[in-house]
Chain A
Amino acid sequence: MRHSIKFLLGDEPRELSSFDPTMTVLDYLRIEERRTGTKEGCAEGDCGACTIVVGSLEGEKIRYQAVNSCLQFLPTLDGRQLISVEDLPDSSGALHPVQTAMIRENASQCGFCTPGFVMSLFALYREGAAAGDPPELETINDVLAGNLCRCTGYGPIIEAARSMHQPAAGPDHFEQNSAATVAALRAIQDSQTIHLTGPDGRQSFAPTTTDALAEILAEHPGATLVAGATDVGLWVTKAQRRLDPVIFLDRLGEMKQVNETATTIEIGAAVTYTDVERMMADHYPDFGEIIRRLGSPPVRNVGTIGGNIANGSPIGDSMPPLIAAGATLVLRRGGERRQLPLEDFFIDYNKQDLKSGEFVETITLPKPAPGSRLFCYKISKRFDQDISAILGAFNLTIRDGKVASVRIAYGGMAATPRRASGAEAALQGKAWTRKTVDRAVVALASDFRPLDDLRASAAYRMQVAGNLLVKAYLEAQGAGVETRIIPYREAAHA
């Protein structure tokens, strides 16, 4: 057990032992460190004014990722490097190439959003530094999907992103110092569970093994698990909940792994969207696209599929594709594990089949069967960074003109993500024709009583649910009709 957290703030080591375990990194920077360069524009992950970059050790290298500090809890910094806008100039005060490019292109006006944009672009710069090529416009748009600016109209910021890798710039100081930073980070890695007690007595744990997690959770069955905190963060900042105790999952090496066999993909519950996106796009291109549209890069860099499932929102994006693909969960309590099909996990609104002291350990899905295809469609007001009104996933195998197998799941159509068993029955074994599909569309009406809310009316959802099935049919015909506003971008970003 360790009773403190250790991290680097820029290049400076920090060790903290008594603090509020759900203090956000934003509050820490602004209030404790008096580093006010990082701003709050919304405190809910929507604007990017609070963007920071977190460096994590991966082998001999440091991986830099943009994160929304308004939703990130301080203990998740353990073992990492926290980089805020103040760290970007080098020790002589010379600006970072990202900053120089922003000035050159007139990419800052009032300056309030600026640190957030600088940090998002800095993460892109670091990841693309080796390549040295100017990023594609699409990549830039993806990277900036979570940053809002009300003054500049973005054009100059995009120009800055395009021109930040000027060949003359040479390695930035992060690159130059990387050996020292790697060594400093290595020195603060260990496999001890962190146990902290805040000034008001609230506790938090950050275990490094699944066994330790199981043990702590057995002891504190009422604890709140925190993976990426992109849901839990809002409970604290918006709903003012005082969580006690809290168990952080981000140090769990085992649960952050993806294991592939010839026929299955096993995803640890703490794997982030970013880490699964590429692989998923290879197997299930549509699912990969859904992940690319989920939140923004800072949300995907920390948000997990496990968290999405455990949170169990009826409009969570990863569940319908997973259910349609035939995913199963491994749930663990103490030393006991049980396995269940993902669709059986959701009982009712806000009610999951998760026993006290139990947690989601892994999610397993089969690789696509030969001849099958998974179609996924997310309907939201905006393309990026928006919550779904409805999401449809259709896993179909057509053989000899007949529906050999079918699994259909929707989000936004009921109090939980759910299969459309009536529609499935109307398709299973039948001739794969528009007529059959129309019958299945009719069957949807008995499968669901859709949500009726601000995002969409029940009638709209029902109509769209049917249309999406028809769309899958049309696309399966390969008729060459344009069915997507923006086609899946194979190599949009690595």
Chain B
Amino acid sequence: MKFGIGQAVPRLEDNRFLTGGGRYTDDLTFEGEAWGYVVRSPFAHAEIRTLDVAAAKAAPGVLDVLTAEDLKHLGPMPCEAMVPGRDGKPPAAPPRPVLAAGRARYMGEPLAFIVAESYEAALDAADLVEMDLDTLPAVTDTEGALEAAAPELWPEAPGNLSLDWEIGDAKATEAAFAKAAHRVKLRLENNRVVANSMETRAAIATYDEAAGFTLYAGTQGVWGVRGALAKAIFDIPSDRLRVVTPDVGGGFGMKGFVYPEYALVMEAAKRLGRPVRWTADRSESFTSDTQGRDIVSQVELALDEDHKITGYRVESVANFGAYLSQFGPYIPTLAASMVIGGVYDIPAVYVHVRSVITNTPPIDAYRGAGRPEAAHMIECILDQAARQLGLSPIDLRRKNFIRQDQMPFTTALGAQFDSGDFEAVMERAMENADWEGFAARRAASEAAGRLRGIGMGYYIESTIGAPTEEVRLEITAQGRARFYVGTQSQGQGHLTTFAQILAERLGIEPQAVDLIEGDTQEKDGGGGTSGSRTLQMIGNAALAVCDGLIGQGRDLAARLWEVSAGDVSFDDGLFRVASRNLTMGMIELAARLGELPGGGDEALESVATYEKSGATFPNGCHIAEVEVDRETGAVRLEAYTVVDDFGTVINPMIVEGQVHGGVVQGVGQALIERCVFDADDGSLLTGSFMDYGIPRADDIPAFSFELKSTPCTTNPLGMKGCGEAGTVGALPSLANALNDALSSAGLGNVQMPATPERVWTILRAG
């Protein structure tokens, strides 16, 4: 089997995962460890009158109980994305203490931390915490938060408005609408979802006077979490905190942030001088993990007589939750607006986002982060326009696509698309989905009493995240290629993909590669994994580091062979001196460094930094086909087709897996996932797997997947990224398919999630 770039190599990490060898945070144990339990607010909004932990402290086995009183020396949880508003001022960001003081602002907010000899002892002691909480009216609804009648939660955020943000040319857009031959308008809810990685969050801390703190936690990048904890919360030099991330059981954005529990285990470990561990149970993760989406938008399209789009306007209300999470404000604003107009040539665009504070868990990035919201908006309004104007959604897209000959193309909001052949990708997807044959399939469904709909979502996303990444590669005398990176796998198969690149470039076995990630002690920094940035950054850095290593290797080989470096070439994985018939592989060279005349401390080791020149724009066309039961409102996903343009692909099998999983997360959001808060007290009603809909094996049909890529022109490898794409494309294709099915019966649109109850209500009302 070939292992190089472009091969569907089975994953190197799989043997470990398949045999139970995965090591996640909760799998680690430490000598003398103590167990932590977080006492949380049972109410969405309450005045904390008393929080008496004396009895809990005295309970058997209890070692310590922390409350806000004990954490006065800690800074608040930081928000690092203080995107300024229209007025140039940062968002109103009320301080978020590690443990609530005075007032609890969402159900699940940490109030106290009990540390005991065993988990059971900590849990028992939790019953002894005396709490007198005075419940207050809670605000959970996104748009409702702005209503005059809504209780005001923070004086700093009048009317619960934290950030009033805009981008684009309001005047030009206004003018486009004034002149438009057609105007189309749509209200879209992008529902709040819970990430629900199968591994819940967990953290273990140790403390040692000499070395400082060590935190073990399932993060998406150790340096970002260390920075937030060391600088903002503990105010210690960052070398006093080592953060280690072992295997991560799924993150999807949610594990990228700093959480109060990290600070709690650290502080407790310091106070006790013992390792302290904490693992969330599932109900805790439902309320204490950051949640995703929760944005309501009014979107409007202006078109001329010829159905060319001339203007696009978005008015959104986004829910921040009770506090601004680490990157919360970035998501509905800058992250979404990069690709707000999709793949269309729209001359005038204006986006206005009002972000509100509510009594709900904080919102932050969730797979796609802003871009699924954007794709959902533009693709749904496009189909709405087609319906309203009696056009084919395909023709409307064709007419408005940014054409390949327009590349590179700068959008109205300034995004620079480097490449892409949107029409060709769409054509291919339509072929694969047998778009032509849909009418016959619809007729068959209707004959059986069911509605059928087909929907397209042409998405484009801009990969985001830190713009530089440094890697280090050393070949040891023992024949291992140790590759040090600053990104963090949460299941994406990074080891395999990186190893494929190194293997191809260096002529080594992929099995010889060790991936060193997730430890602040091993490297100086790194941007972590988020925003589909990893392979783009590491892949290109890997090219550079290989080049460096090859150059170094030629010098060393020349010294060994006692020829001049200019005589040594490197091709097909071997150093050669053609004239003398000498060859040597990279591994052999590393093993023979000791033989160097006068040598000793030479090493085959190279460092390289990749700095990206701009965002990349993965894009693709998703087509969903659904059937709706007219009697029950039940929706079945019948077929799903994806054609993606990811630029260069290292391992198509891994890529397909990423897309497949991403799509299913989107299907979940579009059809069944929903956070329902009690209208009276704001508590989360859908707080368990029994009550929150996660897609299951039988919800998903077999998919059709194909790559039709145009290499990216802004990085040497030509890659665009793929981690989030599946989710970005899934929301609009599902939403459009559902609306297509309903409109075939003359019915109006359904919001996500299209639960049977919602669809049924529309069917009845129709």
Contact = CB atoms under 8 A, between A and B. Distances in A.
Would you call the interface of chain B mostly helix, strand, loop, or mixed?
loop
A141 B653 contact: no
B700 A108 contact: no
Contacts of B252: 150
B693 interface: yes
Contact of A103 (B10, B282, B697): B10
B611 interface: no
A148 interface: yes
Contacts of A157: 697
A154 B22 contact: no
A118 interface: yes
Given A44-B282, A114-B18, A240-B124, A150 B197 contact: yes
Interface in B684-742: 685, 688-691, 693-698, 700, 702-703, 726
Question: Ordered nearest first, which 9 A-B pairs have the shortest CB separation?
Answer: A37-B20, A110-B491, A112-B249, A111-B17, A153-B664, A46-B689, A109-B491, A85-B20, A141-B698
A37 B16 CA distance: 10
A37 B15 CA distance: 12
Contacts of A178: none
Contact of A46 (B14, B685, B688): B688
13 contacts: A85-B20, A102-B18, A103-B10, A106-B10, A113-B198, A148-B694, A150-B665, A152-B661, A153-B660, A153-B662, A155-B702, A157-B697, A387-B690
B657 A106 contact: yes
Nearest to A380: B690
B642 to A, nearest CB: 11
A36 B16 CA distance: 12
B20 A36 contact: yes
Nearest to B127: A240
B247 interface: yes
Interface in B206-264: 247-250, 252
B374 interface: no
A38 B20 CA distance: 7
A158 to B, nearest CB: 6
A89 interface: yes
Contact of B11 (A39, A47, A106): A106
A383 interface: yes
Given A37-B21, A40-B26, A149-B198, 10 more contacts: A36-B26, A41-B199, A44-B690, A103-B18, A104-B10, A109-B493, A111-B249, A115-B22, A140-B697, A154-B664
Contacts of A385: 696
Interface string A116-136: 001000000000000000000
A88 B21 CA distance: 12
B452 to A, nearest CB: 16
B698 A384 contact: yes
Contact of B656 (A106, A110, A383): A106
A384 B250 contact: no
Nearest to A88: B19
Contacts of A149: 198
Given A110-B199, A154-B664, A240-B123, A89 B697 contact: no
Interface residues of B, number: 68
A149 to B, nearest CB: 7
Contacts of A89: 19
B395 interface: no
A465 interface: no
Contact of A37 (B19, B26, B703): B19
Nearest to B16: A111
B497 to A, nearest CB: 12
B20 A151 contact: no
A100 to B, nearest CB: 8
B281 interface: yes
Contacts of B247: 110-112
Chain A CB within 10 A, most for which of B250, B448, B700 = B250
Contacts of B24: 39, 112
Contacts of A110: 17, 197-199, 247-250, 490-491
A37 B247 CA distance: 12
A362 B21 CA distance: 44
Contacts of A104: 10
A342 interface: no
Interface string B1-34: 0000000001101111111111110110100000
B654 interface: yes
Interface string B170-181: 000000000000
A155 B198 contact: no
A118 B15 CA distance: 12
A95 B22 CA distance: 15
Interface string B187-208: 0000000011111100000000
Would you call the interface of chain A mostly helix, strand, loop, or mixed?
loop
Given A41-B198, A106-B11, A144 B19 contact: no
A186 to B, nearest CB: 28
Contacts of A86: 19-20
A156 interface: yes
Nearest to A85: B20
Contacts of B702: 155
Interface string A16-37: 0000000000000010001111
A51 to B, nearest CB: 12
B120 interface: yes
A381 B756 CA distance: 9
A76 interface: no
A346 B587 CA distance: 75
Interface string B484-518: 00000011110000000000000000000000000
Contacts of A158: 697
A454 interface: yes
A95 B491 contact: no
A155 B17 contact: no
Contact of A145 (B13, B660, B696): B696
A103 B12 CA distance: 9
Nearest to B666: A153
Chain B CB within 10 A, most for which of A42, A89, A145, A151 = A151
A113 B660 CA distance: 16
Nearest to A98: B18
B414 interface: no
A77 interface: no
A144 B20 contact: no
A420 interface: no
Contacts of A145: 696-698
A34 B18 CA distance: 17
B632 interface: yes
Chain B CB within 10 A, most for which of A41, A84, A156, A158 = A41
A195 B245 CA distance: 44
B663 A153 contact: yes
B19 A41 contact: no
B634 interface: yes
B599 interface: no
B302 to A, nearest CB: 37
Contacts of B700: 153-155
B439 to A, nearest CB: 23
Contacts of B689: 42, 44, 46-47, 148
A149 B660 CA distance: 12
A425 B449 CA distance: 35
Interface in A161-188: none
Interface string B107-138: 00000000000001001100000000000000
Interface string A35-69: 11111111110110100000000000000000000
A43 B280 CA distance: 11
Nearest to A386: B690
Contacts of A39: 24, 198-199, 249
B64 interface: no
Given A106-B656, A151-B491, A155-B700, A36 B249 contact: no
Given A109-B493, A112-B199, A151-B250, A35 B20 contact: yes
B714 to A, nearest CB: 28
Interface in B375-414: none
